[in-house]
Amino acid sequence: MSNNYLDPISRRRLPNYLTGLPSLSDWHQEAACAGFDTELFFPVKRGQAEAAVAICRRCPVVRRCHEHAMQLPESFGVWGGTAARERGWTHAGKRRKFEDGAEAS
């Protein structure tokens, strides 16, 4: 089954494997972070996420953003008011393991 989804920039048809992903377009435009520099939401050092999390606290779509981060999953950055580490990721983008050997879910 072919799709009719076009990339708005290149105007090329998007591959089928991308069209099944949850869309950001239905909610991200309402986000409190819209218009902010994206670097703010992808901190390099531990402790730099506070400013992004503060923006998330006043966001009307914070729950949807967090659900998006958990569904894909987003292994880097602040999504839905949580840093990657809080969502179970290491600084290298790998799932954290707990002392009992289980991976974060």
Question: Domain boundaries in the chain?
Answer: 25-87
Handedness of CA 32, 21, 88, 75 (dihedral sign): negative
Give pLDDT tens digits along the chain (105 positions): 445 555 455 556 555 555 555 556 677 888 999 888 889 999 888 778 999 999 999 999 999 999 888 888 888 889 999 988 888 886 656 666 655 555 555
Q: What are phi and psi of 50, to 5 degrees?
A: -60, -40
**For residue 103, what are the β-bridge partners?**
97
Verdict on whether the full-model pTM lies above 0.75: no
Q: Which residues pair with 13 in a beta bridge?
A: 6
